[in-house]
A and B are shown apart, each in its own frame.
Chain A
Amino acid sequence: MSTILEQKCPCCGGAVEFNTGVQKLKCPFCDTEFDITAMPEDTANQVEQISWNSQGSQWGAGETDGMSVYDCNSCGGEIVADSTTGATTCPYCGNQVVMKGQFSGALRPDLVIPFKLDKKAAKEALKKHISTKKFVPKSFLADNRLEEIKGVYVPHWLFTCDAIGNANYKATKVKKWSDENYDYTETSYFDIYRSGNIGFDNIPVDGSTKVPDDLMESVEPFDLSQAVDFNIAYLAGYLADKYDVTAEESMPRANERIRQSIIDSFKETVKGYDEVENQSANMNVANGLYKYALYPVWLLNTKWNGENFTFAMNGQTGKFVGNIPTDKKAVTKASLLLGAGIGALIYGLLWLIELF
């Protein structure tokens, strides 16, 4: 049995949305604004639990795995969604709905960073992102559907710990001198050892398999000082997922980043050498804690030449990322033209050198 929550306007009954400009819930129909705390999170009269009996053909075993069915409280339409979907829009009436069960009990996020930038800012950022890139195929620019950009709360695990580690480095010093007949180069090799502690706060690891990990790490960092205690009302107007990667499954990625941080941070204390190269490192963590948080991200998925391209914007800072296809013919043409130009320039200069 699935339950959904709609944030209704007490004045006109319309579905309210979280407004990034005023950082409050706002009714798009009568423009009434409400504080997040003023909207009860667990309002009994806003939650309905409807059970349905199946008729006709039945789903086969395993067919409904990963799928959930909800009923819209406004129009009664049936919403079929992924089992991890936490908030979405009713495809029949456009009302914003939140799957309350996805964020209750142990699944309740500890923190949420509310969206600071709206859809308009995201569309502008996408246009700017694409316009600053070169050799973008014209058909890709033409096919882009900016309207389909969506605000999504992406689940993240945040890891806090004290790391204890040690690292070995191979370092070299190079000394050069000359006499009348020879140039000398002396290379001295050193074995460097460093050990110590470093504290880390809230290292994020993507808790959703729907959004690529590299995309989420590319829009980092988020400012967690602006995070607030989770309130389901923040999800109104956006899509949201519950995690489908557990904290335990996310730990190896956090540990990998911590280990590399130890190597890089300790390396900065190795001074006075020309080259320093890491050889080995060991690490342990103490006082490890993790939290569950929802991060605001604007996402656009688009397909070009059978290949998927996903763009993401940090909904808090505005950092925009996304790989863009390259027009290989244009690259070849530009390389040849520029190369010929530089070649002519080099030849001209050599000719001038010869002349003078």
Chain B
Amino acid sequence: MKKFLSLLLCVISVVFCAMPAFALSDNEIEALRGTKLYVYNWGEYISDGEDGSLDVNAEFEKRYGIEVVYNTFDNNESMYAKLKSGGVSYDVVIPSDYMVERMLNEGMLEKLDYSNIPNFKYIDEKYRNLDYDPDNEYTVPYNVGMVGLIYNKKLVSAPPTSWTALWDEQYKGQILMFNNPRDAFAIAQSVLGLDYNSEYPGDWRAAAEELKKQKTVIQSYVNDEVFNKMETGEAALAPYYAGDYLSMLDINPDLGFVYPEEGVNFFVDAMCVLKGCENKAAAELYINFMLESEVALANAEYICYASPNTQVINNPEYTFYGNEILYPETSVPTQIFINLSDETLSMMNTLWDEIKNYQPNQKLTIESNKYAIYLGIFFIICIAVMVHKILVRKYRENY
């Protein structure tokens, strides 16, 4: 059914493209032909033509003759690090809310010309003027979503309702965890009932202790590797984004999903244009294109995240129309991420580093001591062999 629908969408979109409504004049658009647009987006975060879905980038290229150079990242921090370290630059990036705020504060973003993005009118009122961009001058929401707990019904005895399931000894070696500090800390903070955006060092240390405890039961830290691991039943429990659960469900019907009672992170991923962008008109054209009802629908169908686009949400043909997980009616307790102060950020990074380096209690001392002892023995043997060789030589020289 989904396949058929996507095919249908393809056809519709091709028909529709004959009559687009644009603020950029045809001449201006024509002038962009042959230019390049650099887009930096999350992995698995655009409809790419697989299984007959609409290949969004190809469609954009075909329609406007602008080449899309498309790269992906797997978390906000690595995206920011790459941009910050220099050496690369992009036109359009799609960070999450708190990262938008940080980049805005550091002057990394360019103001958008909303008259070039007429489709912004489709964005639901409640997703406009959000805290990270109060006057909505820099961003256009791409997707919204919440973090939740994905579990494999076959491997879990009873459906979990709390984040503490991720600390459950019973599932030792079958638990996955976020491989990025912000999301990982948020889970520990939920368990402890702390504010995600706390500026008290003590809160972060407490959360870090909690994450260290978790290391005994964890199988591995993942980002998008979670897809394969959950789909094949390699792991039983994983925190991840609600939308991704729906796309995994397509492949592994044994998966279940819950919004843990302690509360979850609500996020908005927003399209922005970077300062110093070489092709701003094309970037705005791209953002506008992404909001077109057919394109937005194709993306929403493929990525399975909740859409901020009214053309999608109110479309009864949409596979996830009124879906309980994406658009829950009962309110889930949520918190949003706010950009942290520099001190807190660097503390979070240091703590994360400690966590990654940490070896669970008894194992820690035993394991690294063990290796140190082995190494010591190895070097002693090496030295002994050398000394032996030299002695033998001396002995022979003497006789």
User: Are the chains A and B members of one assembly?
Assistant: no
Which A positions have Cβ atoms within 8 angstroms of B?
A: none
